[in-house]
Amino acid sequence: MDNLMQPFSLRVSEILDHAARYHPKRKIISRKVEGPIEETNWSSIHQKAKKLSKSLQRLGIKKGDRIGVMAWNTARHLELWYGIPGCGAVNHTLNPRLFAKQLTYIINHAEDKILMIDLDLLGILEKIMPTCETVEHVIVLTDNINMPKSDLPNLICYEELLETEDSDFDWISGHETEACGICYTSGTTGNPKGVVYTHRSNVLHALASASPDMINLSSRDRIMPVVPLFHANGWSIGYTAPLVGASMVMPGREMNPEGLYEMLEKGVTVTAAVPTIWLLLLNYLKANNLNLSTLKRVIIGGSSCPRAVIESFQNDFNVQVLHAWGMTEMSPLGTICSFKPEVLELTDEEKISVQETTGHPPFTVELKLTDDHGNQLKNDGKTQGKLWARGGAVVQQYLKTDKKAVDDEGWFDTGDVATIDKNGYMSITDRSKDIIKSGGEWISSIELENAAVGHPDVVEAAAIGVSHPKWDERPILVVVCKVGKKVEPEKITDFMSAFVAKWQIPDDIIFAKEIPHTATGKISKMALRQILEKENYQHPDLRP
Ligand code: ADP
């Protein structure tokens, strides 16, 4: 009686086959790196992905070989998303904003055999190529006319390579737990660590992520991932969209508000990016008196979404915010803040407070909180603890390590501190290394930052803990004001006192022109601490 159903294989090629079979003409509108905006569809992407698989085989690629990809969000990148795993190879996403040393490290560590790279990023590769030990070919993602001049020998032109093949190719089959993609964590301390997604984890993750309480994606949607495909598995949108037959808009490399707005107005209904992108877009929309004519939902994650952003999207532009939490190690979706029936009963103001939390997990993800000794804590919305996760698309072991990344029961320590309320809504207090420990109490740097950016003249704020003889640590705040605006420090602390307890108010406000960011666009607390150290910064109480 057991095992009488068909052994459908959870491989990502099935996703693209489905889109090409049942949603072949769904539009993919894409800003090419070469400039113009083009239109294609799932059928054409399917054919080109097959041609790519065939071409890669001809170049000697075998099952399990790694291929590094450094590319913006374009239709062509979607061809790679399927053409690489389709021939059994592993798609290793490369973030062009990483330091050269880190790029070399991850290319060598993953042993990439081929690098596929966008036209405008070739300069990065020219610099590091002599240190890349395993790379046999470099493919430039363009056509013959746009092939650049380069010092690198034997560059292959992508479109030319594909022209020599037809699309008559059977995807390479294999077990669903075979490797499909690799994304390295950004490694703020130590070397980056390789997270290897399997075909199975990617399919399960896409199914979970599309579901109604998550991003609620369907064939009636047109989704634009602003989050780059190289950031945390591209938030899986490259899998979720074809899985439901959604249309897509790919914004290319123009990440400025003007360029994004132009693409959003091409019928986009759902979009996704980190909060900084949306802060800039909202300012642009308001300054130019523009509206969003088709957008319905915006997924905001990667770092905490300030209340002011939620309110502005919903009240000024009638766009629903889906605040999400995830990490590279979780493929990346951990939670999304959609409304359960319990929340629908609340007032509008209370609902916005719920949206400041990162929401609840989909099927396949399980979360728990513990104290430092591993004792499980209550989900009462108040008790803060270490956040642990396990599930169908959560890392078990990093690439080329001999130790598991989980405990004996399969729980992964996320490195975040959080609370979970009785309805299962999780709220990130902080990364455990960023939390400010003041007199035995914890202060959330995220809470301070979100309170400060609510001030109309503040663009960005970063809170960090500095040593204090009496309190162990005390918070200080680095603030970037809007261009041309000058604000008194007291005005900012006064404003913040409406949102945080008095004893949590930062002891010092430092104004800066900019705040350093990581390669994924988040505030780099490490770089900020280094800058303050270099300038011999001292807490006001310690100054002579
Ligand atoms: P990177 O730091 O390289 O961008 P990740 O995207 O994997 O890598 O970062 C995951 C971390 O980002 C989480 O562990 C958490 O600290 C933080 N994070 C993600 N989403 C949120 C959110 N909505 N609110 C607060 N923190 C978040």
The 3-state DSSP composition of the chain as helix, strand, coil percent (nearest 5) reads 35, 25, 40
Cα(83)–Cα(78) distance, rounded to whole angstroms? Answer: 8
Residues 386-405, buried b or exposed e (16+ Cβ, 10 A)? Answer: bbbbbbbbbbeebbeeeeee
Distance CA 82, CA 91 (A): 9
CB atoms within 10 A of CB 530: 12
Closest ligand 1 atom to Cα of 522: 4
For ligand 1, the distance from its centroid to the CA atom of residue 414, given in whole angstroms, is: 9
CB 122 within 8 A of CB 68: no
pLDDT reported for residue 502: 94
List alpha helices for 330-369, DSSP H: 341-344, 348-356
In angstroms and rounded to an integer, the radius of gyration of the C-alpha atoms of the chain is 24
Question: Both tokens of residue 384?
Answer: 């803060």
Q: What is the DSSP string of 64-78?
A: T-EEEEE--B-HHHH
- Predicted pLDDT of residue 204: 98
**CA of residue 418 to ligand 1 center, whole Å:** 12
pLDDT confidence of residue 187? 64
For residue 331, report the distance from its CA to the centre of ligand 1, in Å: 12
- In the reported structure, the alpha carbon of residue 187 is separated from the centroid of ligand 1 by a whole-number distance in angstroms of 12
Q: CA-to-CA distance for 218 and 242, rounded, in angstroms?
A: 10
Q: 520: Cβ–Cβ under 8 A, 6 or more apart, which residues?
A: 95, 97, 186, 231, 232, 274, 302
How far apart, in Å, are the Cα atoms of 465 and each of 454, 505, 508?
Answer: 21, 12, 11
Round to whole Å and give the CA distance between 83 and 53: 5
> Of 260, 228, 306, 334, whose CA–CA distance to 523 is shortest?
306
Q: 332 preceded by cis ω (within 30°)?
A: yes
Q: 91: which strand partners?
A: 67, 181
* Residue 337: both structure tokens together: 């803040």
Residues 223 and 204: their CA atoms lie apart, in Å, by 20
Question: Which atom of ligand 1 is the closest one to the Cα of 300?
Answer: 23
Mutation test of ligand 1: which of 98, 327, 333, 445 has the most ligand atoms closer than 8 Å to its C-beta? 327
Ligand 1: residues within 6 Å at CB?
185-186, 232, 301-304, 323-328, 332, 358, 414-416, 428, 431, 446, 520, 522
Please give the Cα distance from 96 to 93 (Å, whole number): 10
- From first to last of the 544 residues of the chain, give the pLDDT tens digit: 999 999 999 999 999 999 999 999 999 999 999 999 999 999 999 999 999 999 999 999 999 999 999 999 999 999 999 999 999 999 999 999 998 999 999 999 999 999 999 999 999 999 999 999 999 999 999 999 999 999 898 999 999 999 999 999 999 999 999 999 999 997 666 789 999 999 999 999 999 999 999 999 999 999 999 999 999 999 999 999 999 999 999 999 999 999 999 999 999 999 999 998 999 999 999 999 999 999 999 999 999 999 999 999 999 999 999 999 999 999 999 999 999 999 999 999 999 999 999 999 999 999 999 999 999 999 999 999 999 999 999 999 999 999 999 999 999 999 999 999 999 999 999 999 999 999 989 999 999 999 999 999 999 999 999 999 999 999 999 999 988 888 999 999 999 999 999 999 999 999 999 999 988 888 999 999 999 999 999 999 988 8
| Whole-number Å distance between alpha carbons of 7 and 173 | 13
Residue nearest atom 16 in ligand 1 by C-alpha distance: 431
pLDDT of 189 reads 64
Nearest CA to ligand 1 atom 12: 302
Among positive and negative, which fits the CA dihedral 450, 455, 461, 465?
A: negative
Q: Which atom of ligand 1 is nearest to the CA of 185?
A: 3
Q: Which atom of ligand 1 is nearest to the CA of 428?
A: 25
Task: Report how far residue 261's alpha carbon sits from residue 166's, in angstroms, rounded to the nearest whole number.
Answer: 37
CA distance 61 to 425: 45
Q: Classify each residue of 420-438 as buried b or exposed e, where b means 16 or more C-beta atoms within 10 Å of its C-beta.
A: bbeeebbbbbbbbebbbeb
427 CA → ligand 1 middle, Å: 12
DSSP-H helix ranges across 111-181 = 122-128, 158-163
In the block, which residue shows the tokens 């904003």? 97
Q: How far apart are the two ends of the chain, measured CA to CA in Å?
A: 81
Distance 41 CA to ligand 1 centre (A): 32
Helices H / strands E in the chain, number of each: 17, 24
Q: How far is the CA of 522 from the centre of ligand 1 (A)?
A: 9
Mutate to test the pocket of ligand 1, among 357, 416, 429 (most ligand atoms within 8 A of CB): 416
Length of the chain: 544
Residue identified by tokens 């404003």 is 495
CA of 195 to the centre of ligand 1 (A): 15
Closest ligand 1 atom to Cα of 330: 7
Measured from the Cβ of residue 151, the count of other Cβ atoms closer than 10 Å reads 8
Q: What 8-state DSSP symbol labels residue 314? A: I
Cα–Cα separations (whole angstroms), residue 295 to 221, 242, 414, 520: 10, 19, 32, 24
Query: Quick one: pLDDT at residue 188?
Result: 62
Atom of ligand 1 nearest to the CA of 323: 23
Closest CA to 356 of 316, 324, 383: 324
Nearest CA to ligand 1 atom 1: 186
- Angstrom distance (rounded) from CA 502 to CA 514: 27
Kind plus residue range of the DSSP H or E element containing 311: helix 307-311
- Amino acid 161 reads L
From 428, 444, 518, mutation site for ligand 1 pocket: most ligand atoms within 8 A of C-beta? 428
530 alpha-carbon distance from chain centroid: 25
Specify the residue with its C-alpha closest to ligand 1, atom 10: 327
Nearest to 104 by CA among 179, 184, 197, 198: 184
Q: Which residues are catalytic?
A: 185, 329, 437, 442
Protein residue whose Cα sits closest to atom 24 of ligand 1: 304
Check residue 359 and report its DSSP letter. B
